[in-house]
Amino acid sequence: MLLSVTALLAAAVTLLPPLGAQAAHAATAGARESRPVYSYDHAIRESVWVDTRVDGDADGRTDRVAVDIVRPREPAQAGRRIPVIMDASPYYACCGRGNESQTKTYDAAGNPVRFPLFYDNYFVPRGYATVLVDLAGTSRSDGCVDIGGRSDIQSAKSVVDWLNGRARGYDAPSGGRAVQATWSNGATGMIGKSYDGTVANGVAATGVKGLKTIVPIGAISSWYDYYFARGAPLFDSGPDALADAVESDAARGRCAAVQRRLVEGAPRTGDWTALWSARDYVPDARKVRASVFAVHGMQDLNVRTKHLGQWWNALSRAGVERKIWLSQAGHVDPFDFRRGHWVRTLHRWFDHSLMGIDNGIEREPMADVERAPDQWSTDRVWPPSGTRQTTLRPRGGDTPGVGVLGTRRAAPGTTETFTDNPALSEADWAAQLGRSTPDKAGFTTGPLRRPLRLSGSGTVTVTATPSTTSAHLSAVLVDVGPATIRHYTGDGEGIVTHERRTCWGSSTEGDSACFKETAADPAQVDHTVVSRGWADLGTYAGDGKGRPLTPGERYTLTLDLAATDHIVPAGHRLALIVAGTDAGLIEPPDTTPKLTLDLHRTSARLPLVGGAPDATTGSPPAGLLKKGVAEPEPGRQGDRMPSARTTG
């Protein structure tokens, strides 16, 4: 549970270290946590340019990335080396970080002044260095942005290498004197939300030595899955638009060839190409040496939880030490949905991973899951033991398009039909679930006799016959029944921001540790979308390429459902909706198909705890559903910049 406002204020005050206190070890032998014993006001602030050993802009010189560092002065004076918390980002100049869109600032001589977010304010007094890296092609770095490719990942990996004495650093963007990280003990933890967390995933997947832990927040694990869902385009732009939005003015003039490769390598057909293979980190999870503390909003419609699910499963198979938080929010940082608990937990995680303090956090429950706004549960492992992939099947009902979901298969030849309507979304379908409409087919269990928990990733296999040469499909799981949830389609994606501030560490005149308070933004609903997945039916062959469809021919394909952890209460119903274009989330096909579902050959495999639902039989009465979460406002599926969709 979140602390009360009074307790939060009290906790924040206790975090302020005594400025001017005599230097001491931040973590002495046998200590349970690092303590704020170092002066933040007198910390060393410096910039270094690290050679990436990549010539991304093809100018004949390897690129250097700008690295801004703030570290306590006292350890180096005493001959002690310290660990590093690093956030590598493309957003430090163009867009800012955090709920208040903070950018880096510098004094007249170019020395760093403000470091966005609270990591420096809180952790530097506790004996950590904070290192913020401008990815190649952004802010003060050389090179070009390549959206998750070699240049992006090498930007951060090279800094880990430099911190461990394996790469070259300089005190200037070109030329200059060599600089060594003699103050670093090499132990590095990477953290970041969205694009920043994505880079952390990618660097960890290289297996680089010295990277001890990563904390990816709402992060991508495969860039193809950010822009496409099995061939169905998710946004109206590709990686070239994002690169154009984040790269510096200087990079924009020298990186035309890189931009062209991003366009050519990422066709809007949705075909899998070599470009996407190079930006898929999941197959390299076996190389990961770092522990992983993953955080994701289960209603994140920007970086969807498919990214989390496939990455988590791959890390599990590789035996990586893991921890996870799942919130009800959208694309939101835990500092803004569970601030007090987050700061304390992150502190303990870094102490364990980077300072080697035996605080027991790795022996505590692996998972924290938000069940209702500010109400959390824990699990020893995630998904919990007893979770099994269970097959549920749709059957026809008494009304066209309003069917039954259960364990029994529909009779051969049973069908349902719908016509794609690109103007309608999952919210529209769910609101009309109990009614026959021409745009979807819906199937529900009877009222559940006991709660049903879904935990993990699922799939829906559909057999459909199109009337035209192209078709996009959506599969949506819905909890049918009243609930209070975070208003994830609102402006704050589940939070509201107040003007009051609380402080989390030490401040200087140019870098405040005080941030605006946030609170849950609740919504009363009659149904909740639990998970969703999309696909282009033309990818039925499963080889990563789309094909024109033959009208009247039957096709089968499987859609991936985004990972979730949701409890459907007793008395509620679980529903599966199959429809066409999910407005605002995928782009429509170039035709308007009518699709006929073969119910005998259609099924859902869901990660259910304790097996199939115990439910009464029967279809929902017409008019059962009246309202759900409001439709997302245009552009509110995550921040959108001109001609691009950002991930942060």
**Per residue in 546-599, pLDDT tens?**
999 999 999 999 999 999 999 999 999 999 999 999 999 999 999 999 999 999
Would you place residue 16 in the very low, low, confident or very high pLDDT band (cuts 50, 70, 90)?
A: very low
Model confidence at 638, pLDDT cuts 50, 70, 90, reads very low
State mean pLDDT over 448-454: 97
Side chain identity at 353, as an amino acid letter? S
Residues 238-245: what's their mean pLDDT?
96
Does the pLDDT value for residue 8 go beyond 90? no
Clarify whether 139 is annotated catalytic. Answer: no
Q: How far is CA 172 from CA 71, 91, 179, 402, in A?
A: 19, 21, 10, 67
| Averaged pLDDT, 308-328 | 98
State how far the Cα of 177 lies from the Cα of 168, in Å rounded to an integer: 10
69-78, 508-517, 614-623, range with the lowest pLDDT: 614-623
> Of residues 134, 161, 300, 536, which has the active-site annotation?
300
Whole-number pLDDT of residue 21: 34
Q: Position 469: which residue type? A: T
pLDDT given for residue 625 in this prediction: 36
Q: What is the pLDDT of residue 543?
A: 96
Q: Is there a contact between 154 and 65 (Cβ–Cβ < 8 Å)?
A: no
Is the pLDDT confidence value at 12 over 50?
Answer: no
| pLDDT of res. 29 | 53
> Which of the four pLDDT bands, split at 50, 70 and 90, describes residue 134?
very high
| Mean predicted confidence (pLDDT) in 495-520 | 97
**What integer pLDDT is reported at residue 423 of this predicted model?**
98
Other C-beta atoms closer than 10 Å to the C-beta of 549 total 23
354-374 pLDDT, tens digit each: 999 999 999 999 999 999 999
623 burial level (CB within 10 Å; 0-12, 13-18, 19+): exposed
pLDDT (average), residues 606-615: 92
Q: pLDDT at position 558, please?
A: 98
- Residue 616 in this model has a pLDDT that exceeds 90: no
The predicted-structure confidence for 402-424, as pLDDT tens digits, reads as follows 999 999 999 999 999 999 999 99
**pLDDT at residue 4 tops 70:** no
pLDDT for position 236 = 83
Backbone angles phi and psi of 257, in degrees to 5: -65, -40
Catalytic residue among 331, 472, 487, 527: 331
Q: What is the DSSP string of 518-533?
A: EEE-EEEEEEEEEEEE
**Whole-number pLDDT of residue 617:** 65
> What is the spatial distance between Cα 595 and Cα 551, in angstroms, rounded to a whole number?
10
What is the overall mean pLDDT for the chain? 91
**Residue range 292-301: average pLDDT?**
98
Q: Is 300 a catalytic residue?
A: yes
DSSP state letters, 375-416: EEEEESSSSPTTEEEEEEEEEEEEETTEEEEESSPPPTT-EE
Percentage above 90 pLDDT, the chain = 89
State yes or no: is 582 an active-site residue.
Answer: no
pLDDT of residue 31: 72
Confidence of residue 615 (pLDDT cuts 50, 70, 90): confident
CA-wise closest residue to 156 among 134, 171, 178: 134
Is pLDDT larger for residue 377 or for residue 23?
377
